[in-house]
Each structure stands twice: as structure tokens, then as C-alpha cells.
Amino acid sequence: MQKIIEKAGVLIEALPYIQKFDEKFVVVKYGGSAMVNNSYEESVLRDLVLMEAVGMRPVVVHGGGNAISTRMKELGAQPKFIHGMRVTDTQTINIVDEVLSGINHQIVTTIFKFGGKAIGLSGKNDQLIRAKKHFGTVDGKKVDLGYVGSVEAIRAEFIKEAAYNHGIPVIVPVGVGENGELYNINADTVAGEIAAALKSEKLVLLTDVQGIMADPKNDTTLISTLRKSDVEKLIKKGVIVGGMIPKVRSCLCALEAGVGKTHIIDARILHSLLLEIFTDKGVGTEIVW
């Protein structure tokens, strides 16, 4: 009986959040460890199905970097990165498109298997994501990364229509340039731009660490709430480094456009999405205005 009462208590705790987020958009960036471990994948996708079932409007942007690198090696191409950005020549952009399309189909299929509804979209569909060429920087000098892009515009109404009519939009993070060329775009960046365009209630970035640590070498120093005004200070101090920087900048982009809250959470924690959204304490780092 006690276990049944505890379950009821969990539902009661979740109720005000369910009511608050009814019909609200929540953008979720899904990638990394959650995509290569079956138990993590099942946890994340079941969470998304529940979010949709209780009236929320989740939108998923997914990555696939490990799978892209694996496919490149199978075809005899060596992945190359500059400051974490994949150098993307003609062969590589075709591999990116092929691999991400396959991952997209798999995610959509699994959501349906769990009883949800979803539709796969690519940034190249009807110029859903308009992009321009992005250059890297090494030692202060501009470096050509090939078909790597940055977001110029998002067709927010296209995404909303897909959500209202087909369930959860699952989006491949590529964009189309002014001459129809395809660009590979960082998935964290795309998620932030889509959250900004939708003016979503939340942006949630799933990763394979607990969140942002005051001491990156000490897992007990999780920063549960971080103010926008403190972000640049922590980057300069070397607290926020490497792949966490584009995630944090994605959160700032969303906040500046009016998104309510942004979150960086650990996909290795089972049902971390539900814990972050539907409980009082949460499990990761929230970045707020």
C-alpha cells in the first residue's frame, strides 16, 4: 500500500507542471550517450511519449556524430575536427545527410512503438532551416570548414503545423544555403535557434555529464542554477570548456529570444527529462535569465 501511496504522491507533485506546460513547446536536443545505449534511448523516448500524452508539445533535434564518424571510416574517409567542428567536404556532407536521415527514421519508429506520434523532418525540407557558411578560427585566422553552416532563419510555423497535425517533430540539424547547398550544423546550436523561433517554454539539452560543475574534475560540485550574467565569467575562468561551450551559448540564444528556462541534463539518469520538468528539484543545471 505504501508504494501505491508514494506513486500517487509523485503524480500530485507533477500535476502543477502538467497543467503549466499544457500545449507549450519544449525543445529537446537528443544525442551523445543517449543514442548509443539502449536503456538510455528507451528512457528518453518514453519520456517524450509521456510528455506528448499529457498535452505538451515536445520538439526533438538529434545529433549523430559518432555514427557519422563510424560511417566515414567504413568508406575510407578520416574524420577531421577543428575546435570540435567537423571539417565537411562534399563526401562528408553526403554521409552526414545519409546517416542522420537513418537515425531520424529510427527515432520516429521507436516513438510510434512506444505509443506516441511523431514525424521526421530535415532542415532541408522546404527550407525549414536556412543556413549560411560558417568559418572556424585557428590562432585568430579564419579557417574554411567546408559545408559547415550557421542558422540564418527557422520556419517556426512549419514546425508548429507538424506538431499540431503529426505529433512530435524530430528534426535533422542540417540547413540549406541560398544556392541550395546543404550545410552540416551543430545540433546544440540548431536546438537553441528552434527554441528561440518557437519561443518555447523550455530548451533541454541532453548530454553525458551531470551538468555544469564549479570544479569540472569534481562531480559533487554541480551548479543547479546558473544566471545568464555569470556564464561568460565561467567561460573565461575555464569552468565551462570544450563541448559545453556551444551548449551554453545555445541556452543563451534561447533565453535572449524569450524562452522561459534552459536546462543541461544527464541522459544517463533514467527518465531525466521527466525528473527535470515534472519535479520540484530537477537533476541537472538550469540556465536562467
- Its pTM stands at 0.92
Answer with the residue of higher pLDDT: 254 or 83.
Answer: 254
The pLDDT value recorded for residue 7 is 66
d(CA 218, CA 118): 39
Contact, 62 vs 103, CB < 8 A?
A: yes
- Nearest Cα to 258, choosing from 179, 170, 195, 167? 195
The pLDDT value recorded for residue 245 is 87
**Does residue 53 carry a pLDDT above 70?**
yes
Q: State percent of the chain over pLDDT 70.
A: 95
d(CA 104, CA 126): 17
Q: How confident is the model at residue 177 (pLDDT cuts 50, 70, 90)?
A: very high
The pLDDT value recorded for residue 175 is 98
**Does residue 33 carry a pLDDT above 80?**
no
**Does residue 283 carry a pLDDT above 90?**
no
Contact, 197 vs 163, CB < 8 A?
A: no
First to last CA, the chain: 43
The pLDDT value recorded for residue 34 is 65
What does the mean pLDDT of the chain come to? 91
The pLDDT of 64-89, averaged and rounded, is 93
DSSP state of 181: -
The pLDDT of 104-132, averaged and rounded, is 96
**Does residue 2 carry a pLDDT above 70?**
no
- What interhelical angle do 228-236 and 244-256 show, nearest 10? 160
